[in-house]
Amino acid sequence: MPDSIENISVRLKVNGKSYSRTIEPRKLLVELLREDLDLTGTHVGCDTTYCGACTVLMNGAAVKSCTMFGVQADGADILTVEGLEKNGELHPIQKAFGDCFGLQCGYCTPGLMLSALQLLSCNQQPDDKEMRKAIAGNTCRCTGYQNILKAIQMAANNMKGA
Amino acid sequence: MLAQLGDDAKLLAGGQSLIPLMKLRFANPAHLVDLNFIFGTSYIKEGDGTFRFGALTRHAEIEASAAAAKIPILHDCAAGIADVQVRNRGTIGGSLAEADPSGDWATVLFTLSADVRCLGPNGERTVYLNDFIKDAYTTVLAHDELVSEVAVKVPSKGSGGAYLAFKRCAPVYPTASAAVQLTMDGDICRDAAIALGCVGLTPIRAKDAEATIRGQALTEKTVAGAMEAARAAADPQTDIRGSADYKRTLVGALVKRAIEIAVRRARGEQVEVGHLYA
């Protein structure tokens, strides 16, 4: 290991707001979000690139924030679960997850909603297979997934024309 | 930079394997050189019957590309690797340079004619993919070299391919996989390339299986022969994903199915293929 590790400055936009921090280069993006920016809605589940609880959108693409370094988000536009609601109004995906009982303990929900958002932003009318493929990287241990699929379908219907 | 930092330095591409390996302390580099901010390393170009992929082209970009539309086996692979999140980050160059025995790309590209361009302080060299991978996690890359581009020949007309990987769920590596690329002339198989994944230290070219069907009509009997030869070529290890016997049986079945799909595609049929789940 090197004798001393130089901290690196990183500038990024999260949920529309610009941040600038100086962090250790080994710090993961999810740690940057949770510990330095106090955005604790993004969860750490497995920390092994399996469960997808830490999913955020980076420049519109779903990524596992436990599997990249914070410094790699320099210049990026990140969306976390905190950025879904607008002016006190829940996002249609959030509403649909509630209405369809698409969550129980809620631990996986932020990641699932962001995976759903990536899907619906490039496919307004996904079929069952496309929905399953889109959330294949998100593990839920409570719901059995059926209500999550219903929620994504409902969100798709409600977002059309929006 | 690598020469300067010494042996403890590693290149970071998509990071979807390296970062998990670092967390497990299987990899413990003192320095990481992040390639992600280098401009012009992610591209797909077509010309002279070849698709050229920049090393940092993400799996998701390949999944949605004209290359994948034209060469279905590339789509089978790109669209099936792990999950959306990993495909948005992971790269084709990283996958080949890592040379994980369970990786998808190398197995698929073994059946197409693929060249890896390696860039180092002494210039560039092009290495045929099948010679590029030496052993598990080992390539011909020198410490101060990196993969700059992967070039894949567009298969000839009348050619069809398929890649099938069998997995327990999306984010895990396959238990076994098979890639088949056939050139058909009516019912006769003019040429065949068959590669097996996850059943050896590197992807395995099943040459005896290819010989069984090359120049032959594809009947139940000849295909069964290829299946048998593929099983014999596999050299799997018993692990958490299954016993050696199980994987050997599985890989034979995957070869048979992949041949059937490759034949249909060679005839011009559109066949959608996804990775198979237990």
What ipTM was estimated for this complex? 0.95
pLDDT at B156: 92
Q: Which of residues 95-154 of B touch A (CB under 8 A)?
A: none
pLDDT at A103: 97
Rounded to an integer, what is the distance from CA A109 to the centroid of its chain? 9
Q: pLDDT band for position B106 (50/70/90)?
A: very high
Interchain contact B32–A (C-beta under 8 A)? yes
Given a cut of 90, is residue B205 above it in pLDDT?
Answer: yes
SS3 annotation, chain B: CHHHHCCCEEEECCCCCHHHHHHCCCCCCCEEEECCCCCCCCCEEEECCEEEEECCCEHHHHHCCHHHHHCHHHHHHHCCCCCHHHHHHCEHHHHHHHCCCCCCHHHHHCCCCEEEEEEECCEEEEEEHHHHEEECCEECCCCCCEEEEEEEECCCCCEEEEEEEEECCCCCCCCEEEEEEEEEECCEEEEEEEEEECCCCCCEECHHHHHHHCCCECCHHHHHHHHHHHHHHCCCCCECCECHHHHHHHHHHHHHHHHHHHHHHHCCCCCCCCCEEC
Residue A155 in domain: yes
Same-domain check for residues B142 and B31: yes
Given a cut of 90, is residue A143 above it in pLDDT?
Answer: yes
pLDDT at A2: 60
Q: pLDDT band for position A1 (50/70/90)?
A: low
Same-domain check for residues B149 and B166: no
pTM greater than 0.90: yes
Same-domain check for residues A102 and A130: yes
CATH number at residue A44: 3.10.20.30
Q: Which domain covers residue B75, as residue numbers?
A: 2-153
Same-domain check for residues A71 and A96: no
Same-domain check for residues A14 and A68: yes
pLDDT at B277: 80
Question: Domain boundary residue among B153, B173, B206?
Answer: B153
Question: Domain boundary residue among A83, A115, A142?
Answer: A83
- For chain B, the domain total comes to 2
Rounded to an integer, what is the distance from CA B58 to the centroid of its chain? 14
Closest by Cβ to A68, choosing from B15, B23, B84: B15
- Average pLDDT of chain A is 96
CA of A97 to nearest chain B CA: how many angstroms apart? 20
Task: Tell me if B84 and A133 make a contact (CB, 8 A cut-off).
Answer: yes
Same-domain check for residues A101 and A75: no
Query: Exposure pattern of A3-14 as b/e (b: 16+ CB <10 Å)?
Result: eeeeeeebebeb
Task: Tell me if A134 and B89 make a contact (CB, 8 A cut-off).
Answer: no
Q: Which residues does A87 contact at the CB level (< 8 Å), separation at least 6? A: none
CA of B173 to nearest chain A CA: how many angstroms apart? 11
Q: Quick one: which of A78, A56, A77 has its CA closest to A65?
A: A56
- For chain A, the domain total comes to 2
Question: Domain boundary residue among A48, A83, A118?
Answer: A83
Q: Which of residues 70-99 of B touch A (CB under 8 A)?
A: 82-86, 88-89
Given a cut of 70, is residue B194 above it in pLDDT?
Answer: yes
Q: Quick one: which of B273, B266, B120, B94 has its CA closest to B193?
A: B266
Residues of B whose CB is below 8 A from A72: 15, 34, 36
Same-domain check for residues A142 and A100: yes
Q: Which domain covers residue A133, as residue numbers?
A: 92-159
Same-domain check for residues B164 and B88: no
pLDDT tens, A103-123? 999 999 999 999 999 999 999
CATH number at residue A113: 1.10.150.120
Given a cut of 90, is residue B235 above it in pLDDT?
Answer: yes
pLDDT tens, B110-155? 999 999 999 999 999 999 999 999 999 999 999 999 999 999 999 9
- Average pLDDT of chain B is 96
Q: pLDDT band for position B6 (50/70/90)?
A: confident
B18 vs A6: CA distance, rounded Å:
21
Same-domain check for residues A70 and A97: no
Same-domain check for residues A155 and A97: yes
Residue A2 in domain: no
Alpha-carbon distance values, A49 to A39, B191, B226 (Å): 20, 39, 37
The three-class DSSP label of residue A89 is strand
CATH number at residue B37: 3.30.465.10
Same-domain check for residues A78 and A123: no
Closest by Cβ to B84, choosing from A2, A47, A134: A134
As a whole number, mean pLDDT of residues B54-73 equals: 97
Structure tokens at B118: 């390696």
Closest by Cβ to A67, choosing from B20, B36, B170: B20
Residues of B whose CB is below 8 A from A74: 37
Same-domain check for residues A79 and A96: no
Q: pLDDT band for position B172 (50/70/90)?
A: very high
Question: Domain boundary residue among B116, B138, B153?
Answer: B153
Same-domain check for residues B41 and B166: no
- Do residues B44 and B61 lie in contact, with contact meaning Cβ atoms separated by under 8 Å? yes
Same-domain check for residues A76 and A110: no
CATH number at residue B247: 3.30.390.50
Question: Domain boundary residue among A83, A109, A134?
Answer: A83
CA of B165 to nearest chain A CA: how many angstroms apart? 15
B112 vs B96: CA distance, rounded Å:
14
B103 vs B100: CA distance, rounded Å:
5
Given a cut of 70, is residue B27 above it in pLDDT?
Answer: yes
Interface residue of B85, B88, B91, B272 to substitute, partner A, most A CBs within 10 Å:
B85
Question: Domain boundary residue among B153, B169, B193?
Answer: B153
Same-domain check for residues A151 and A123: yes
Give B64: exposed, middle or buried? Use CB within 10 Å, 0-12, 13-18, 19+.
middle
Same-domain check for residues A96 and A79: no
Task: Tell me if B15 and A71 make a contact (CB, 8 A cut-off).
Answer: no
Residue A151 in domain: yes
pLDDT tens, B76-98? 999 999 999 999 999 999 999 99
The pLDDT > 90 percentage for chain B reads 94
Same-domain check for residues B8 and B136: yes
Given a cut of 80, is residue B175 above it in pLDDT?
Answer: yes
pLDDT tens, A5-55? 899 999 999 999 999 999 999 999 999 999 999 999 999 999 999 999 999
Query: Do the strands A55-58 and A61-64 form a parallel or antiparallel pair, or are they unpaired?
Result: antiparallel
Residues of A whose CB is below 8 A from B30: 1-2
One-letter identity of residue A9 = S
Closest by Cβ to A115, choosing from B31, B84, B169: B84
Query: Exposure pattern of B105-124 as b/e (b: 16+ CB <10 Å)?
Result: bbbbbbbbbbbbbbbbeeee
A55: nearest CA partner in chain B: B85
Interchain contact B169–A (C-beta under 8 A)? yes
Same-domain check for residues B8 and B74: yes
Residues of B whose CB is below 8 A from A68: 15, 19, 89
B14 vs B91: CA distance, rounded Å:
5
* First-last CA distance in chain B: 44
Task: Tell me if B20 and A137 make a contact (CB, 8 A cut-off).
Answer: no
Same-domain check for residues B175 and B244: yes
As a whole number, mean pLDDT of residues A135-160 equals: 97
Taking any CB pair shorter than 8 Å as contact, residues of chain A touching chain B are 1-2, 25, 28, 47-52, 55, 58, 61-64, 67-69, 71-72, 74, 115, 118-119, 133-134, 136-138
Same-domain check for residues B103 and B80: yes
pLDDT at B18: 96
Compute how many other C-beta atoms are within 10 angstroms of the C-beta atom of residue B162. 27
Q: pLDDT band for position B189 (50/70/90)?
A: very high
Residue A34 in domain: yes
A3: nearest CA partner in chain B: B30
The pLDDT > 70 percentage for chain A reads 97
Same-domain check for residues B20 and B100: yes
Same-domain check for residues B167 and B143: no
A131: nearest CA partner in chain B: B84
Rounded to an integer, what is the distance from CA B9 to the centroid of its chain? 26
pLDDT at B7: 87
Task: Tell me if B20 and A69 make a contact (CB, 8 A cut-off).
Answer: no
Closest by Cβ to B85, choosing from A1, A72, A137: A137
